[in-house]
Structure 1
């Protein structure tokens, strides 16, 4: 894979940008946002800095890009965090200045629609971190989940190597932000299933690429990925699905397209996140939710095995749209050990 710059870590007391490159969720639920900023400072010692569009609903793509460019250009800002995802960040990317991120690389944290920005940074030779949403993982609930806090500190401050473990519980969505309980209570959590492993019993280490699979499809359609799949040779593919709850069949169609593109053949490992299977509008029974997760799992294992039987596959890792969430390196190194059935992430 192409060499990527790993941005320098911040230090307690440094200023970090908190931006809304997609949806300005803080404009809808400012109380959750304010608690997120307070917890960010408590957990990391970093000082959050807002920009003009952080809370501005309906801000143009050009204005949101201007805030990103300003944050990347400011030598006093040592990291950039997204408040949440959305669905139109693909329109922001054309207004970004690649020279700024190459001149002063900084860690960027985001997931979901922020897959656009992570891929853009990756294309400019700068590694980032898939995960983190101040509005979802810092602001709501009684406290920041321990696995999220550990990986947040590793991504922003320490750069250590951590084993990615199963927290044992998961929620698909939290309390309604308009409900005061959102500030003190988790969403409905349930016990998790063990991760599912497939492929050879070998250990592989590679740089990561991927993200939210629906957004990956948009990126490929827009032609914002190198034409040669060999750029992923020996890498680790990260895949997760969004709160839109796409059917397993659609997940399979997109994954099959990645196989036809040659991306599955190029990588040495594939990590598939535990998918959300319910929302505030639709909550199937526990049995139906388990069946949906199993259907997506089986398709992932079958399709990766069809295109690359030598790839190590693990399904169910909590790094996507469920909570607790691990933040994972994007363009950094992950080790996937199919023999020991363990995963490590290097946050340097």
Structure 2
């Protein structure tokens, strides 16, 4: 990637971390899950969570949420920022943010889904971040924090080490409804996973990452907030994942095709596509249908990427998106995608 990014300084145990709701205030809607998440955040990282006026405020305006983000960026005592969850209107928050605050004191920011808006805003400001880590999804529910999530959480916030991204062997699309007390102690319906699918040449690519949730990437492009030529992504690694909206494969393919027309697919040297969710609280397809839906999306996306960049190393099924367990991955940091050895290594510096 030709664009240079500043890696944020790591926090230390005992430091304070801002816990924010840049989109939906799930912390206010489901406080018991949120409070368990905050306890586990400290247990796993040694960091002290700090809430802001809109962290639990349902219906907070875009300006109010932006004010909390700006305040966290400006406070030298805050050493990292963590989003509670995503949502669907963070795009309205972005115009009220101050990039000079992000550049003056770069801090790790973690979030997924709608937080693709904030990741791109930081990338545009020249600051790297970490894709993943919504506390309401990955810290609060269930009997504990998944190992791969805890390891990548510590690496992103504290240690800055290199980790091989591995398959945990099981996955859930959706957990137990957070209004149900069982959500505090039980996982959702988990099932065994299949090996990742690899495409393209048998070579190793090391590059800076860019991307996120494909639906939100589409919004960013539509709003004109990708103000760079595709060459800014030259030689990089594209991250693509889909949300709990459960888009049909052809709709996902249309978005990826648009990235090809924008020149993004041909610019990168590798693409990582996350394991997609294919069920939710109201839709419960059986195992065979879930496999069919994932296979259809996999084949569609791989075919589109091949049309625009047959030399890209592509891996589909990596657990970094909306399913759980989840790896947190560098956004603007470096990942090695080794098509020959079929291994992925992330650098959390």
Equivalence map 1:263-282=2 (5 Å)? 263-282=264-283
Give, in angstroms, the shift of residue 180 of structure 1.
Answer: 0.8
**How far apart are the structure 2 equivalents of 1:70 and 1:281?**
38
Match of 1:195 in 2: 196
Match of 2:114 in 1: 113
Q: What is the alpha-carbon root mean square deviation over aligned residues?
A: 0.5
Match of 1:15 in 2: 16
Quick check: 1:157 aligned with 2:155? no
Match of 1:146 in 2: 147
**How far apart are the structure 2 equivalents of 1:126 and 1:233?**
17
**How far apart are the structure 2 equivalents of 1:97 and 1:261?**
27
SS state of the match for residue 18, structure 1? strand
Match of 2:4 in 1: 3
Equivalence map 1:207-218=2 (5 Å)? 207-218=208-219
Match of 1:204 in 2: 205
Give, in angstroms, the shift of residue 227 of structure 1.
Answer: 4.0
Quick check: 1:31 aligned with 2:32? yes
Structure 2 residue runs without a partner (length 5+): none
SS state of the match for residue 217, structure 1? helix
Give, in angstroms, the shift of residue 226 of structure 1.
Answer: 2.2
Match of 2:325 in 1: 324
**How far apart are the structure 2 equivalents of 1:49 and 1:10?**
14
Give, in angstroms, the shift of residue 275 of structure 1.
Answer: 0.0
SS state of the match for residue 81, structure 2? strand
Give, in angstroms, the shift of residue 92 of structure 1.
Answer: 0.1
Match of 2:138 in 1: 137
Equivalence map 1:242-253=2 (5 Å)? 242-253=243-254
Cα deviation code 1:144-185 (max 9, x no counterpart):
000000000000000000000000000000011111110000
Quick check: 1:344 aligned with 2:345? yes
Match of 2:232 in 1: 231
Equivalence map 1:296-315=2 (5 Å)? 296-315=297-316
Match of 1:286 in 2: 287
- TM, length-normalised to structure 2: 0.99
**How far apart are the structure 1 equivalents of 2:205 and 2:348?**
17
**How far apart are the structure 2 equivalents of 1:69 and 1:110?**
16
Match of 1:104 in 2: 105
- Runs of 4+ more than 2 Å apart: none
Match of 2:187 in 1: 186
Match of 2:56 in 1: 55
**How far apart are the structure 2 equivalents of 1:4 and 1:226?**
16
Match of 2:66 in 1: 65
Equivalence map 1:78-89=2 (5 Å)? 78-89=79-90
SS state of the match for residue 10, structure 1? coil
**How far apart are the structure 2 equivalents of 1:177 and 1:302?**
37
Cα deviation code 1:122-161 (max 9, x no counterpart):
0000000000010000000000000000000000000000
**How far apart are the structure 1 equivalents of 2:179 and 2:262?**
43
Cα deviation code 1:226-277 (max 9, x no counterpart):
2411110000000000000000000000001100111000000000000000
SS state of the match for residue 154, structure 1? helix
SS state of the match for residue 113, structure 1? helix
Quick check: 1:93 aligned with 2:94? yes
